[in-house]
């Protein structure tokens, strides 16, 4: 954790100045890509760097950064990254280590784990095998690779920081003042990985073995400090397999059958905020008293994120998904309320 009072000043520095200051900003010094490949560390970076990608997408509201990091998890171009506002666009681009740029599509996401899987059309890529990932322990020496501060835009190497895993702790029990839907173990790091663009990067051992994914920026709401952490791959491996198998997918399947009459939001007693944009978030504006939604516990300002196992990214997508449900069938909704994920089963009587 570290104080972020210098954050505003950093945001206006040139890319060259940021790169020059990286060694002094980090709790442990950054490692340049120029490390000789004959050294063990240089050989590790030569293997790992081609598996790291730079992701560019939506900037969100209030001028938020439009970039983050990710890493390849298959030779066919699947990428593991964090689920964030950066992906809330139809125009996500991925830049590989060699400078090649690809359009990426969101395969699926797991909102509770704040992770997502992207896909680019490429073959024979170097990648991390999630089944070969290792479990780190307190004291494990690690490398954190990411595009923090968006320094790399083409074939520049990802930034590298080195340090140790300070502690392995359950985020909810020990660090409950941090606002996040994730509830599970994290690697707390002594390197300053909690910076714009670093989320989604890879945490590896000094031998290049994948150990975790760098988490999103996370601030302690009580003392305004920030947490440097990574989510262990062991927490992500099965959800990734489920996404690739068709759960938590990003778009409705047009091939799925539709009933003669489908259930509607009005049937459930839900009114959404005005749908004025192509990707208006599906926030609940009002709940009709004594409706299925009211009886289940849905409330205004809830953000619908899943219908069943299907990811919902807009009001339009929510309405399209309900077209595959008959009025007599229950509707399973997952909503984000604050930073808590709630699940409801709604059934029209």
DSSP string, 311-340: E--SHHHHHHHHTTS-TTS-EEEEEEETTE
pLDDT in tens, 274-295: 887 767 889 999 999 999 999 9
Prediction pTM value: 0.76
Q: Over the range 63-101, which residues count as b (16 or more CB within 10 Å of their CB) and which as e?
A: eebbbbbbbbbbeebbbbbbbbbbbbbeebbbbbbeeee
Domain residue spans of the chain: 2-244, 265-346
Q: What is the pLDDT of residue 148?
A: 92
Q: Which residue has the higher pLDDT, 16 or 234?
A: 234
**For a pLDDT cut of 70, what percent of the chain falls above it?**
81
Q: What is the pLDDT of residue 251?
A: 63
Q: Report whether pLDDT(262) > 60.
A: yes
What is the rounded CA–CA span in Å between residue 162 and residue 165? Answer: 10
- For residue 28, name the pLDDT band (cuts at 50, 70, 90): very low
Among candidate residues 122, 22, 139, 135, the one with its CA nearest the CA of residue 72: 122
CA atoms within 13 A on the CB side of 339: 14
In contact, 283 and 338? CB cutoff 8 Å = no
Q: What is the pLDDT of residue 195?
A: 86
Classify domain 2-244 at the CATH topology level: Thrombin, subunit H (2.40.10)
Q: Report whether pLDDT(27) > 60.
A: no
Classify domain 265-346 at the CATH topology level: Pdz3 Domain (2.30.42)
Q: Report whether pLDDT(161) > 50.
A: yes
Q: Do domains 2-244 and 265-346 have the same CATH topology?
A: no
The 8 Å CB, 24+ separation contacts for 14-18 are 15/149, 15/150, 15/151, 18/149, 18/151
Beta bridge partners of 186: 169
- Lowest-pLDDT range, 52-56, 75-79, 92-96, 255-259? 255-259
- For residue 75, name the pLDDT band (cuts at 50, 70, 90): very high
- Lowest-pLDDT range, 53-62, 148-157, 297-306? 53-62
* CB proximity list for 71: less than 8 A, separation 6 or greater: 51, 52, 53, 79, 80, 81, 127, 128, 145, 200, 201, 202, 210, 213
pLDDT in tens, 204-257: 999 999 999 999 877 666 666 678 899 999 999 999 999 998 888 776 555 667
The 8 Å CB, 24+ separation contacts for 16-23 are 18/149, 18/151, 19/151, 22/149, 22/151, 22/159
pLDDT in tens, 315-337: 888 998 898 888 888 999 988 88
Q: What is the pLDDT of residue 194?
A: 81
In contact, 129 and 119? CB cutoff 8 Å = no
Average pLDDT over residues 145-171: 91
CA atoms within 13 A on the CB side of 194: 20
3-state secondary structure of 81: strand
Phi-psi region of 259 (alpha: psi -120 to 50; beta: other; left: phi over 0): beta
3-state secondary structure of 145: strand
Cα end-to-end span (Å), the chain:
51
Q: What is the pLDDT of residue 237?
A: 95
3-state secondary structure of 146: strand
């Amino acid at each position: 954790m570290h104080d972020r009072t210098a954050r505003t000043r950093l945001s206006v520095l040139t890319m060259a100045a940021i790169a020059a200051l990286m060694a002094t900003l980090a709790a442990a010094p950054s490692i340049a890509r120029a490390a000789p490949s004959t050294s063990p560390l240089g050989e590790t970076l030569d293997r790992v760097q081609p598996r790291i990608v730079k992701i560019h997408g939506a900037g969100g509201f209030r001028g938020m950064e439009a970039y983050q990091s990710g890493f390849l998890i298959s030779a066919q171009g699947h990428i593991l990254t964090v689920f964030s506002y950066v992906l809330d666009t139809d125009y996500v681009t991925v830049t590989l280590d060699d400078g090649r740029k690809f359009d990426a599509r969101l395969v699926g996401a797991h909102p509770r784990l704040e992770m997502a899987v992207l896909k680019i059309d490429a073959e024979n890529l170097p990648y991390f095998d999630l089944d070969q990932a290792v479990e780190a322990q307190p004291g494990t020496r690690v490398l954190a690779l990411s595009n923090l501060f968006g320094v790399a835009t083409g074939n520049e190497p990802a930034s590298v920081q080195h340090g140790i895993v300070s502690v392995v702790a359950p985020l909810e029990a020990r660090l409950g003042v941090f606002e996040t839907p994730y509830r599970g173990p994290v690697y707390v790091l002594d390197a300053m990985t909690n910076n714009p663009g670093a989320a989604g990067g890879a945490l590896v051992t000094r031998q290049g073995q994948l150990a975790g994914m760098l988490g999103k920026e996370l601030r302690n709401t009580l003392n305004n400090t920030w947490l440097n952490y990574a989510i262990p791959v062991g927490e992500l491996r099965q959800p990734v397999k489920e996404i690739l198998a068709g759960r938590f997918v990003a778009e409705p399947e047009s091939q799925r059958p539709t009933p003669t009459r489908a259930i509607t939001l009005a049937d459930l007693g839900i009114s959404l905020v005005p749908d004025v944009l192509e990707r208006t978030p599906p926030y609940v504006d009002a709940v009709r008293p004594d409706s299925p939604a009211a009886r289940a516990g849905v409330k205004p300002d809830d953000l619908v994120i899943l219908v069943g196992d299907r990811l919902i990214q807009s009001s339009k997508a929510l309405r399209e998904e309900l077209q595959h449900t008959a009025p007599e069938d229950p509707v399973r909704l997952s909503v984000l309320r604050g930073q808590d994920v709630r699940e409801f089963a709604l059934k029209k009587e």
